[in-house]
């Protein structure tokens, strides 16, 4: 292992059963879906103890992202190597055939509600597909407080207290920790802190087909973690990069991640010196050039550019859309 130099790394998706999921991820990813059950999530890059991503190609095939981070911290993370004990982001595709539970995630400083070794959870979505029943609930309606929200839950009228809108493909939605949210009838890409801490406020009075029982709610924890100032959350306004030769726009920029969307039919540059970057292809296909070798990256695939890769050239076959995700400088997590 010590003699291996890191290269652009691709990973196998990890499929997750969800009662609100569907089968549309089969059209986005090449790995076959498990049969006869709703698949709500494909974890594209995960450094979770229970579901670590496996490298899918090359000399490091079948190594986990966890093993790579321990063996090659400087090659992989560059000047962020001393900042993190694990890869700080979790990337997913979601197929929300039905609406998810109404939920909230704690912030990093709400240690009381976060298991040891985990973090809070700020996340963001890029909408890929919608349908006739698509809806995103993001933030509360103004005037909502703990008392009237608790009453709405008791009356089975939670939606009356939630801000919502009909999304369209391409929308970017930022969900800061403490924001009440859910969505349904859409396929989205999700980037988030590497956390699995979710508190359910309401689950639409449904039962899980696998258990025949309702899923557990966490009302006390959820109400304690809500930021009631997070109201009327809508799509972000992309910020164009006019100096970039391709069509490049920044959708999100916060303390946890930065995300750009790039659309082009001509070659363009990705990556950054001494920092890792993650590429997710959401339309088209092409090849990344690294040390004279071409690494294919097609629709539905994720690629981690280790810090040693620096700036690389991506050559589309035709029109392509890539999401490029960076990690800001942070204190040790």
CATH number at residue 252: 2.60.120.10
- Specify whether the CB–CB gap between 60 and 4 falls below 8 A: yes
In this structure, the answer to whether residues 205 and 301 fall within a common structural domain is no
Hey, how many other C-beta atoms are within 10 angstroms of the C-beta on 247? Answer: 14
- Specify whether the CB–CB gap between 285 and 269 falls below 8 A: no
Is the residue at 232 inside a domain? no
User: Per this entry, what is the length of the chain?
Assistant: 333
**What residue has token string 């009302």?**
219
Range of the domain at 92: 9-225
Q: What DSSP element (H or E) covers 154?
A: helix 146-154
For 161, what's the count of Cα atoms within 13 Å in the CB-facing half-sphere?
A: 24
Cα–Cα distance measured from residue 309 to residue 311, given in angstroms and rounded to the nearest whole number: 6
Confidence of residue 42 (pLDDT cuts 50, 70, 90): very high
> Which residues contact residue 88 at a Cβ distance below 8 angstroms, ignoring those fewer than 6 apart?
193, 194, 256, 327, 330, 333
- Specify whether the CB–CB gap between 139 and 176 falls below 8 A: no
Cα–Cα distance measured from residue 293 to residue 303, given in angstroms and rounded to the nearest whole number: 15
Q: Which residue among 203, 225, 247 closes a domain?
A: 225
DSSP label at residue 111:
G
| pLDDT (0 to 100) of residue 331 | 46
Q: What is the pLDDT of residues 173-225, one digit of tens each?
A: 999 999 999 999 999 999 999 999 999 999 999 998 889 999 999 999 999 99
In this structure, the answer to whether residues 124 and 85 fall within a common structural domain is yes
Cα–Cα distance measured from residue 298 to residue 77, given in angstroms and rounded to the nearest whole number: 24
In this structure, the answer to whether residues 29 and 156 fall within a common structural domain is yes
Cα–Cα distance measured from residue 303 to residue 42, given in angstroms and rounded to the nearest whole number: 15
Is the residue at 247 inside a domain? yes
- Specify whether the CB–CB gap between 8 and 281 falls below 8 A: no
* C-alpha closest to that of 233 among 119, 129, 107, 138: 138
Is the residue at 159 inside a domain? yes
- Specify whether the CB–CB gap between 134 and 125 falls below 8 A: no
* C-alpha closest to that of 16 among 36, 35, 43: 43
Cα–Cα distance measured from residue 189 to residue 96, given in angstroms and rounded to the nearest whole number: 11
Is the residue at 133 inside a domain? yes
Q: Which residue among 225, 254, 269 closes a domain?
A: 225
Confidence of residue 332 (pLDDT cuts 50, 70, 90): very low
In this structure, the answer to whether residues 95 and 197 fall within a common structural domain is yes
Mean pLDDT, residues 230-258 taken together: 92
In this structure, the answer to whether residues 211 and 104 fall within a common structural domain is yes
What's the mean per-residue pLDDT of the chain? 95
In this structure, the answer to whether residues 159 and 39 fall within a common structural domain is yes
Is the residue at 332 inside a domain? no
In this structure, the answer to whether residues 220 and 272 fall within a common structural domain is no
| pLDDT (0 to 100) of residue 238 | 96
Q: What is the pLDDT of residues 282-315, one digit of tens each?
A: 999 999 999 999 999 999 999 999 999 999 999 9
**What residue has token string 């258990």?**
211
Which string of DSSP letters, residue by residue, matches 267-315? -EEE-BTTB-EEEEEEE-EEEEEETTEEEEEETT-EEEE-GGG-SEEEE
State phi, psi for 255 to the nearest 5 degrees.
-70, -10
In this structure, the answer to whether residues 84 and 30 fall within a common structural domain is yes
**Helices and strands counted in the chain (H then E):** 4, 20
């Amino acid at each position: 292992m010590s003699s291996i130099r890191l290269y652009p790394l691709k990973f196998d998706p990890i499929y997750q059963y969800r009662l609100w999921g569907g089968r549309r991820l089969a059209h986005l990813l090449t790995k076959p879906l498990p049969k006869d059950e709703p698949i709500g999530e494909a974890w594209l890059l995960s450094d979770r103890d229970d579901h670590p991503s496996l490298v899918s190609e090359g000399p490091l095939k079948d190594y986990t992202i966890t093993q790579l981070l321990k063996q090659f911290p400087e090659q992989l993370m560059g000047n962020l190597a001393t900042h993190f004990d694990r890869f700080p982001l979790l990337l997913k595709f979601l197929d929300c055939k039905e609406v998810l539970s109404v939920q909230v995630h704690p912030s990093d400083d709400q240690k009381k509600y976060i298991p040891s070794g985990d973090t809070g959870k700020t996340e963001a979505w890029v909408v890929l597909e919608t349908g006739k029943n698509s809806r995103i609930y993001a933030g509360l309606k103004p005037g909502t407080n703990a008392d009237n929200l608790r009453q709405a839950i008791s009356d089975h009228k939670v939606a009356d207290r939630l801000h919502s809108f009909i999304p369209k493909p391409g929308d970017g939605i930022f969900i800061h920790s403490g924001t009440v949210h859910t969505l349904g009838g859409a396929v989205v890409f999700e980037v988030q802190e590497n956390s699995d801490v979710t508190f359910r406020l309401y689950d639409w009075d449904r039962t899980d087909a696998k258990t025949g029982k309702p899923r557990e709610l966490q009302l006390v924890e959820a109400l304690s973690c809500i930021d009631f100032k997070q109201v009327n959350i809508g799509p972000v306004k992309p910020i164009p990069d006019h100096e970039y030769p391709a069509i490049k726009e920044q959708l999100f920029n916060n303390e946890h991640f930065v995300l750009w969307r790039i659309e082009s039919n001509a070659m363009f540059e990705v990556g950054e010196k001494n920092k890792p970057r993650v590429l997710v292809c959401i339309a088209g296909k092409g090849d990344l050039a690294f040390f004279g070798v071409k690494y294919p990256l097609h629709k539905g695939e994720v690629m981690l550019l280790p810090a040693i890769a620096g700036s690389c050239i991506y050559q589309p076959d035709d029109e392509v859309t890539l999401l490029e995700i960076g990690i800001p400088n942070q204190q040790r997590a």
